[in-house]
């Protein structure tokens, strides 16, 4: 069963009279529960593809179906509603809200869903990532690895069907990065979430079920790890 289907997708930016094709006729599908790495050189279109699959932006051509939702043709508000229901995000630069504590950051997606148990659920997730004792700390009081663990807890807060991660270990040292990798895969397995990750890290990519190589906006090959 395919949870994500990308058909003949292109992304073209118009700059004056010039056209810049960032993605060119991309086709891929991801089965529910799979983990997929998208790899390729800088500027190859990896992050653009991730953004389109997650409904952060719309394709110029082609169609994308995410867990039964047809993203093309949707308004930004409609795509935002799908994201809040179906998707979790982990970014390279953590994207925590600096004025909120670790606990409050994890509570945000739960409160948006009007969950009465938002605080209890957020504390439970912080415990899973080993940060329950740092719940009242602000991002500025946490190390990079701790901030990324908070962002992982937040990503899993709304029990997403699909998790998108953009260079999740890119800003971390090797040891911390390995801990974050293990955490993502462990939580992913435990919750049965589908994982789609952009990474430069070949060792990290090798831990996924499938690797999609992209270059110059085109898929070069897909291989099962």
Q: What is d(CA 214, CA 184) in angstroms, rounded to the nearest whole number?
A: 23
Digits of tens for pLDDT over the chain (225 positions)?
799 999 999 999 988 889 999 999 999 999 999 999 999 988 899 999 999 999 999 999 999 999 999 998 899 999 988 998 899 999 888 889 999 999 999 999 888 888 889 999 999 999 999 999 999 999 999 999 999 999 999 999 988 999 999 998 888 888 888 888 999 898 888 889 999 999 988 889 999 999 999 999 999 877 776
Burial bucket for residue 121 (CB in 10 Å: 0-12, 13-18, 19+): buried
pLDDT of residue 67: 93
Provide the CATH topology of domain 33-58+87-224.
Answer: Rossmann fold (3.40.50)
Q: Are 132 and 183 in contact (CB under 8 A)?
A: no
pLDDT of residue 173: 87
Q: What is d(CA 132, CA 125) in angstroms, rounded to the nearest whole number?
A: 8
Residues 6+ apart with CB under 8 A from 221: 212, 213
47: tokens are 């992050």
């Amino acid at each position: 069963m395919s949870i994500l289907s990308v058909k003949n997708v292109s992304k073209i930016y118009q700059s004056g009279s010039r056209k810049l094709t960032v993605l060119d006729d991309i086709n891929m599908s991801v089965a529910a529960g799979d983990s997929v790495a998208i790899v390729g050189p800088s500027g190859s279109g990896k992050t653009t593809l991730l953004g389109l699959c997650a409904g952060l932006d719309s394709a110029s051509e082609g169609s994308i179906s995410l867990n039964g939702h047809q993203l093309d043709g949707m308004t930004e508000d409609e795509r935002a509603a799908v994201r809040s229901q179906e998707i979790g995000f982990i970014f390279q630069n953590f994207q925590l809200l600096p004025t909120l504590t670790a606990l409050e950051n994890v509570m945000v997606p739960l409160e948006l869903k009007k969950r009465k148990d938002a605080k209890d659920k957020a504390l439970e997730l912080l415990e899973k990532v080993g940060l329950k004792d740092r719940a009242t700390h602000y991002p500025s009081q946490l190390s990079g690895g701790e901030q990324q663990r908070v962002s992982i807890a937040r990503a899993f807060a709304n029990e997403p069907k699909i998790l998108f991660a953009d260079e999740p270990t890119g800003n971390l040292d090797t040891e911390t990065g390995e801990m974050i990798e293990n955490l993502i895969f462990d939580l992913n397995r435990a919750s049965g979430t589908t994982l789609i990750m952009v990474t430069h890290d070949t060792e990290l990519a090798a831990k996924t079920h499938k690797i999609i190589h992209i270059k110059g906006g085109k898929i070069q090959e897909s291989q099962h790890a």
